[in-house]
Amino acid sequence: MQIGMNLLLWGTDITPALFPVLDEIKSLGFAGVEVPIFNLNPDDWQVWRQKLDDLGLQRLAVAINGPDANPLSADASMRAHVLENNKKALDCAAVIGAKLLMGPIHSALGVFTGQPATVEEWQRGVAHIRALAEYAATKGITLGIEYLNRFETYLFTCTDDMLRFVDEVDHPNCKIMFDTFHANIEEKDIPAALQKCGDRLVHVQLSENDRSTIGKGHVDFAKIIAALKSIDYQGMLSIEAFSMKLAAANIWRPMFESESQLMQDSINYLKKLL
Q: What DSSP character marks residue 29?
A: T
Residue of 158, 221, 155, 146 lying closest to 188 (CA atoms): 158
Contact call for residues 205 and 238 (beta carbons, < 8 A): yes
Dihedral, CA of residue 69, residue 74, residue 75 and residue 78, to nearest 10? 20
Cα–Cα distance measured from residue 154 to residue 147, given in angstroms and rounded to the nearest whole number: 9
Total Cβ atoms within 10 A of residue 220: 14
Cα–Cα distance measured from residue 229 to residue 195, given in angstroms and rounded to the nearest whole number: 10
134 is known as an active-site residue: no
146 is known as an active-site residue: yes
75-246-211 Cα angle (round to 5): 110
**Catalytic position from the list 121, 187, 208, 240:** 240
Residue of 61, 44, 77 lying closest to 203 (CA atoms): 61
| Cα–Cα distances in angstroms (integers) from residue 204 to residues 65, 139, 140, 181, in the given order | 20, 22, 20, 11
Cα–Cα distance measured from residue 65 to residue 37, given in angstroms and rounded to the nearest whole number: 11
**Catalytic position from the list 34, 146, 186, 187:** 146
Cα–Cα distance measured from residue 182 to residue 199, given in angstroms and rounded to the nearest whole number: 20
Cα–Cα distance measured from residue 143 to residue 175, given in angstroms and rounded to the nearest whole number: 6
The residues assigned a catalytic role are 146, 240
